[in-house]
Amino acid sequence: MTTFKEHAAQAPAGKLTLAEILEIFAGGNLPLRFRAYDGSTAGPEDAPLGLELLTPRGTTYLATAPGDLGLARAYVAGDLATHGVHPGDPYELLRALADKMDFRRPPARVLAQIVRAIGIEHLKPIAPPPQEALPRWRRIAEGLRHSKTRDAEAIHHHYDVSNTFYEWVLGPSMTYTCACYPHSGSTLEEAQENKYRLVFEKLRLKPGDRLLDVGCGWGGMVRYAARHGVKALGVTLSKEQASWAREAIALDGLEDLAEVRHGDYRDVRESDFDAVSSIGLTEHIGVHNYPAYFEFLQSKMRHGALLLNHCITRPDNRTGSTAGGFIDRYVFPDGELTGSGRIITEAQDVGLEVVHEENLRHHYALTLRDWCRNLVEHWDEAVAEVGLATAKVWGLYMAGSRLGFETNVVQLHQVLAVKLDRDGYDGGLPLRPWWTP
């Protein structure tokens, strides 16, 4: 009996259906049910998960941008539907695709037949969904990468979606960074509070100290530090974040100790801080700017002060820093990642002594699981607030990121460093870690 894979390799004479084309690229191994608008189907009939290609426009998106970008365009635009998962958390479908599908380029003769079957009209690019950011070449033409203006535009694209939307997804802490779960049964709020506690203790902060928190988001670290008697200054490029943070500071009665500014961290004039925290900013500044970034942070620290850098990283130091098509165009324009070794190197090269680092990637997978759960719970409100397409982007992004952390595609590292004086004195740090894990 000839298998479909063998049949495809022999380039059958008849016109291929859309389902047959998918099976060719998938090597005949589909872990889900696939349906297309031409009436064709593929995959197990009883599969609990499925994809449905609804329109010819979806074919054009898939054909003109193979890979995650084309899939995202078709899905966000409503031309590709999922079955068996909630759009706020399509994790199980993404995991099935990642675990069991191995897309391969077919032989040239078969590829030519696929092109004829699809039709030349579907190989001409069309306008992407309006939720998509400009391509890199257009962004480069309209402003230097990681200039203050372009960084502000990138932050606006991602963080100024809607504070109400973020409240539903992130929960009461409004913390959009990896939590640290004390145990597997911890709630998201417990884990976020524990993360701030961990950062606070690693920085050896005490009442009366001064903290600079760059890329402070909605001010979670600033408010935590202020509640413990520390005078904290936070800076964010997001106007919406700054507005929300200021209101939260006022509601907590922390105005005497906490301040959040709307602006670029590079515009901070104060110095001699007792500690600096950077939680989720490094991903946005560009790898080539690391020397200037760490030099700036070091310049704001007194001798003996500590720096805690918390950011997403790659699992090695060789992979290119540029994000994939979907992440770059829909989530983090201009975002870049590198390995923890590169981050440690750059911190050391400006004279900081790295005293500790740890990887929290499993904690980020749990964090994303809980964010998706929140989005599902508030799905109708989220769609009403930001629109169906944007809500779908977030469900896809968070579920895909969860899978990435689980499978070690990305990691999350906290790097702790101290500023020494000219004689190498570190301010009298204890010989062993002084914080509770």
Q: Is residue 130 part of a domain?
A: no
What pLDDT, on a 0 to 100 scale, did the predictor assign at position 133? 86
Kindly state the average pLDDT of the residues 184-205: 97
Percent of the chain with pLDDT over 70: 90
Residues 153, 86, single domain; the answer is: no
What pLDDT, on a 0 to 100 scale, did the predictor assign at position 168? 96
Residues 162, 115, single domain; the answer is: no
Q: Is the dihedral of CA 310, 207, 355, 436 positive or negative?
A: negative
pLDDT band at 160 (very low <50, low <70, confident <90, very high): low
pLDDT band at 8 (very low <50, low <70, confident <90, very high): very low
Integer Cα distance of 140 and 143 in angstroms? 5
Higher pLDDT: 320 or 192? It is 192
Q: Which of 40-49, 134-143, 176-185, 348-357 has the lowest mean pLDDT?
A: 134-143
Residues 394, 278, single domain; the answer is: yes
Q: Is the dihedral of CA 19, 22, 26, 28 positive or negative?
A: positive
Q: Is residue 139 part of a domain?
A: no
Average pLDDT of the residues of the chain = 91
pLDDT band at 23 (very low <50, low <70, confident <90, very high): confident
Tell me: the pLDDT tens digits for 39-80?
Answer: 999 999 999 999 999 999 999 999 999 888 999 999 999 999
Residue 4 predicted with pLDDT over 50:
no
CATH number at residue 243: 3.40.50.150
Number of domains in the chain: 2
Residues 115, 198, single domain; the answer is: no
Residues 116, 173, single domain; the answer is: no
Q: Among 88, 123, 158, give the residue marking a domain's end.
A: 123
What pLDDT, on a 0 to 100 scale, did the predictor assign at position 321? 86
What pLDDT, on a 0 to 100 scale, did the predictor assign at position 5? 46
Residue 400 predicted with pLDDT over 90:
yes
Integer Cα distance of 42 and 21 in angstroms? 10
Residues 96, 160, single domain; the answer is: no
Residue for token pair 């190498």: 424
Range of the domain at 15: 4-123
**Dihedral over alpha carbons 60, 62, 65, 71 (to 10 degrees):** 130
Give pTM, 2 decimals. Answer: 0.91
Q: Is residue 77 part of a domain?
A: yes
Q: Is residue 249 part of a domain?
A: yes
Residues 94, 174, single domain; the answer is: no
Q: Is residue 33 part of a domain?
A: yes
Higher pLDDT: 11 or 61? It is 61
145: amino acid identity, one letter? R
Residues 305, 232, single domain; the answer is: yes
Query: Which is nearest to 287 in space by CA: 343, 361, 345, 325?
Result: 343
Residue 432 predicted with pLDDT over 60:
yes
What pLDDT, on a 0 to 100 scale, did the predictor assign at position 9? 46
